[in-house]
């Protein structure tokens, strides 16, 4: 058996106080990929999925993000089976608001009765009494956002939820939500090649709200041979994905990337990005290009 590299640690990314009181290392883990193809059913290798979760803890990751729709139910159940009882500093974030009729099929459901049913299932599968961060996975166009968020506010008052977050929203959505209850996080698609949520990120920075970018590893044509990501990766003996993560971590102090994987080796590679320090020139070059 080869000896584990103990020098990698998510703490190298720095920390952020999620919701003002949950100190997390800024490089977390997104647990969507520990399910079957199409984010449906059981993983092809359940033992490897559990090994990834255990390795998260060893690598200092103390923010794990999941959702009841991943599997559905599979990701949450594997996390509960593998990690509960959790390390004292572990923060588990999950979501409700998308239902899954089949593989690759995602449909919004923000009805209050659905959210109440969903929280009970998540608590049971994750083996928790309180969800640290409960996120509305999507705003349901058929349900007033105030109704969905009002239910999540009630769950917070009941002690089943500690903090509330949103996903795939604009600034106006955020402001309306803040009139209903405090918002602790926003999870939007954001990476080197997709910066459509700049205004939302800036709003999060202004209010001290965590910004959790999903699909964080994308670097597109910027990673082509001889391209900016490729050249900077060579400078650091790193992969393009690691450079994409290093740029995100440098981009904002409220940025909490949660790259997902079903492989222990890829997890270790992602965490190693926490210790990559881009130079000012490298960061500026990546910030001015898109691909």
Catalytic residue set? 70
261 CB contacts (<8 Å, ≥6 apart)? 33, 52, 267, 270
3-state secondary structure 149-191: HHHHHHHHHCCCEEEEEEECCCHHHHHHHHCCCCCCEEEEECE
236 CB contacts (<8 Å, ≥6 apart)? 242, 243, 246, 276
The SS3 of residue 107 is strand
Name the CA dihedral angle for 258, 259, 264, 270, rounded to a multiple of 10 degrees.
-100
Count Cα atoms within 13 angstroms, Cβ side, for 146: 4
Q: What are phi and psi of 153, to 5 degrees?
A: -65, -40
Residue 147 vs residues 141, 142, 153, 171: alpha-carbon distances, Å: 12, 11, 10, 19
| Contact of 289 with 228, CB cutoff 8 Å | yes
């Amino acid at each position: 058996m080869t000896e584990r590299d103990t020098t990698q640690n998510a703490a190298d990314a720095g920390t952020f106080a999620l919701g003002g009181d949950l100190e997390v290392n800024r490089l977390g883990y997104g647990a969507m990929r520990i399910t079957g193809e199409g984010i449906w059913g059981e993983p092809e290798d359940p033992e490897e999925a559990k090994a990834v979760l255990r390795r998260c803890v060893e690598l200092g990751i103390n923010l794990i993000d999941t959702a009841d729709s991943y599997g559905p139910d599979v990701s949450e159940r594997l996390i509960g089976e593998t990690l509960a009882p959790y390390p004292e500093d572990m923060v588990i974030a999950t979501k409700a608001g998308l239902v899954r009729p089949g593989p690759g099929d995602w449909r919004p459901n923000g009805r209050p009765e659905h959210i109440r049913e969903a929280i009970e299932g998540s608590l049971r599968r994750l083996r928790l009494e309180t969800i640290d961060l409960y996120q509305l996975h999507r705003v349901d166009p058929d349900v007033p956002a105030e109704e969905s968020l009002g239910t999540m506010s009630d769950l917070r008052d009941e002690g089943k939820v500690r903090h509330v977050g949103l996903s795939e929203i604009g600034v106006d959505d955020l402001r309306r939500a803040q009139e209903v209850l405090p918002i602790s996080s926003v999870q939007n698609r954001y990476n080197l090649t997709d910066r459509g949520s700049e205004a939302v990120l800036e709003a999060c920075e202004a209010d001290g709200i965590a910004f959790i970018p999903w699909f964080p590893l994308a670097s597109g044509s910027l990673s082509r041979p001889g391209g900016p990501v490729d050249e900077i990766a060579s400078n650091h003996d790193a992969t393009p994905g690691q450079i994409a993560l290093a740029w995100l971590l440098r981009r904002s102090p409220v940025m909490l990337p949660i790259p997902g994987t079903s492989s222990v080796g890829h997890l270790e590679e992602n965490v190693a990005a926490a210790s990559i320090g881009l130079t000012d020139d490298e960061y500026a070059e990546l910030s001015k290009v898109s691909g």
